[in-house]
Every structure is written in structure tokens, then in C-alpha cells.
Structure 1
Amino acid sequence: MRTIARLSAGEFEHCVKELAELLADAVDDGASLGFVEPFGHEAAAAWWRAQAPAVAAGSQLVWVCRLGGVLAGTVSLIPAAKANARHRAEIVKLMVHRDARGQGLSRALLATAEQAALDSGATLLLLDTETGSTAEHVYLSGGWTRYGIVPDYAASPDGTLRDCSFFYKRLTPSG
């Protein structure tokens, strides 16, 4: 059974170990999420713990997807903080454990974050991802518009510089 739920600050604190396992798995599998090797569970847990103040303040919203009770994916939404940007938000750290891929979890997590953004009044979402990655295909097939590619933007986990694609999506109420 698949469930997707937004984590409260308290739930987030209790999920750090599982989130760290997910992040370490994604980086080990080559996902360009902002980290380079060596990168293990301790570094992943430290990164997630550093997000706790933002989660508690509501400036970072985190959802997790569980399959049969096991944390299999996550996505975060960061609403813009500037007064002139309250209509937009950023999708960050969408990841699915390698053993759970191919089941539509990325799309389900993304749709959840998109709906939450719309419900909060955001009408424009932004994100970036490694050009040519599986994630890029998810965004292109999900109605996102690529507005540019920056060469050698970020290093992959093995340290190789990779191009990065930048996307936006306009949100409109359905119905």
C-alpha cells in the first residue's frame, strides 16, 4: 500500500534516519542532489537535521511516500520568502529509493507538492535537475517547461561536472 503524507516538525525529526538512508541511496546511485562522494549515512543525516528549523518554521514543506510502511521517496517544497515572489515556490530534493523506482512514485510526489503549492496560492513552480537524467524525463512528461540549460553547472556524485536543466510550471486550478 502506498501512502504520501506531509511531515509535521515532530514527524520530520523522527524520520531523519529514514530520510538519510534514502538520500545516501540516491547519491550512491548517482543522483545529482548537491552532494559528492564520499557521502554516507552520517553526512546525509546531518544534512536532513540541518533542515529541521526550516521545516519547523514552515519555510520547507516535506512529504514522504511509504510503500508498505517503508519510506520509499520524498519531495520538498520551498515557498519563496520575498514579498514580490509569494506566487512562486521551488521543488527540491525529489528522490525515490532505487528499489522503488518505476512505480510512479516520483510523479505522485510531484503531483502532491504541486497541489499543495496551488492550495497555498503559488501559481509558479521552479526546479532544476541534471540534463539527460531520468528526473528530467519525469519533469518533461509532467508538463514542466525547460527554460534553459547551463553547462557544467554542478558536479555529479563522482565529481564530474554536468549540465543542468532549469524548469518552470504554471499552476492553475483544475475544475
Structure 2
Amino acid sequence: MCIIETQPVIETRRLTLRSPGAQDIPRIAALANDPEIARMTQRMPHPFGLGDAEAFVLHVAAQDPARAVAFVIEHEDLGPVGVIGLHESGDPAPETGYWIGREFWGRGFATEALEGALVWAGRKWKRRALMAGHFADNPASGRVLEKAGFLYTGEVRRPFSDARGATADKRMMVWLA
């Protein structure tokens, strides 16, 4: 029988990935209220305020940990720098997504967090494959996914992005444990 962690914690070299809590709401709202972050996601609205951050934290707390998990990405010195999540979708494998606050771009935090989440997904969540995608106009996210071992599938989807208010090309990738 597989025991599912209800609030897993993942430690990497510089980061801790942990469940978001009420104490994180102001920081999540401040970091996420950036149009350049929101437009690179499907479901994040812009503007993103305290109410949105509170709704996110409550949504994560109510998730079935066997089907979805989300983490605040916390740097040992800088505090929360972003969010990463894994969730079952309509694909055969769960999907992962992440965002990092703009002031922390280019420091390798997304790659480090993703690599930690992948190890956890394989060992603790018992997943052998994960899906991910990035908007075609966000090649930096594609590089993060490639560094973590994701491969392009050749599929391009056109999901609606809440922040863009429009559909956009999303290049799909897969990771196999």
C-alpha cells in the first residue's frame, strides 16, 4: 500500500518546497501580481491580489494529495520565490507547472525546484511520467524543462490563458522516470 504524504516537504541544495500556508499569502500575491509572470501561465489571472493568493492557498489545502500537490518554492535566504505544482489533467500522465518571481529569474531556482519535484514525484508519488508545456513565446521555460530532462513531444496545443485573455501556442513536453 502506498502512503500519500498530505503535506510533503522537498529539500534541495538551496530550496525548500513546502505546502503554502496563510503566512505566504502576501508574498505570493506580491510576486504573482506581475503581468509577465501571469501571461506565461494558463490559469493565473492578472491582476493577482491578496484574494487570489488566499483562494490559491485554500485550493491547495483542499486538493486530494493522490491527484495534485502544490509547493511554495522557498529559498534559504530570500524566502518564497515562486510556486510549483503537479496535478492530474486529461493527459495519461500528470502535468507540472511553475513560476518564479521576476526578481529571481536567471538564478536556476526553477530548474532546481523542478528537479527536486521530479525526484519526489518518482519516489514518493510513484509517477513514472509527467507532462509539461510552455507557451511558444516563453523559450526560457522550455530550457528549464529541457535541463530537468523533459523532451518535446511535437504536440502544440492552444489553451486559453486567463491573463492574456486569449489562446496561445503551448509546446508540450514529457518526462519519463
What SS does the aligned partner of 1:71 have?
Answer: strand
CA separation of 1:89 and 1:161: change in aligned 2, threshold 3 A: closer
Which stretch of structure 1 is more off in the superposition, 27-36 or 115-124? 27-36
Instruction: Provide, for residues 45-101 of structure 1, a one-character-per-residue CA deviation record: whole Å limited to 9, x for no partner.
Output: 3233222112777841424232514211221223x59xxx7xx43313x11110011
Q: Summarize the alignment of residues 80-159 of structure 1 with structure 2, pairs less than 5 Å apart.
A: 80=88, 88-92=93-97, 94-120=98-124, 121-133=126-138, 134-147=140-153, 148-150=155-157, 152-155=158-161, 157-159=163-165
> How many Å apart are 1:30 and its aligned residue?
3.4
Give the Å deviation of 1:149: 0.4
Partners of 2:48 and 2:25 lie apart in 1 by 16
1:27-42 matched pairs, under 5 angstroms:
30-42=39-51
Superposed displacement of residue 157, structure 1: 1.9
Of the three residues 19, 22, 47, the one matched with 2:56 is 47
Instruction: Call closer, same or farther: CA 1:56–1:153 in 2, change over 3 Å.
Output: closer
**Alpha-carbon separation, structure 2, partners of 1:130 and 1:32:** 8
Residue 122 of structure 1 and its aligned partner are, at CA, apart by 1.4
Aligned to 2:4: none
Q: Distance between the aligned counterparts of 1:144 and 1:21, measured in 2? A: 30
Percent identity of paired positions between Structure 1 and Structure 2: 16
Q: Gapped runs of 5+ residues in structure 2?
A: 1-12
Structure-1-length-normalised TM-score: 0.74
Per the normalisation by structure 2, the TM-score is: 0.73
User: In 2, are the aligned partners of 1:55 and 1:61 still within 8 Å (CA)?
Assistant: no
Q: What RMSD in Å do the two structures reach over aligned CA positions?
A: 3.0
Q: Is the 8 A contact 1:63 1:109 kept in 2?
A: no
Aligned residues: 161
| Structure 1: gaps spanning 5 or more residues | none
User: Structure 2 vs 1, CA of residues 130 and 18 (structure 1 numbering), >3 Å: closer, same or farther?
Assistant: same
1:168 is aligned, of 167, 170, 174, to 174
Q: Is the 8 A contact 1:128 1:166 kept in 2?
A: yes
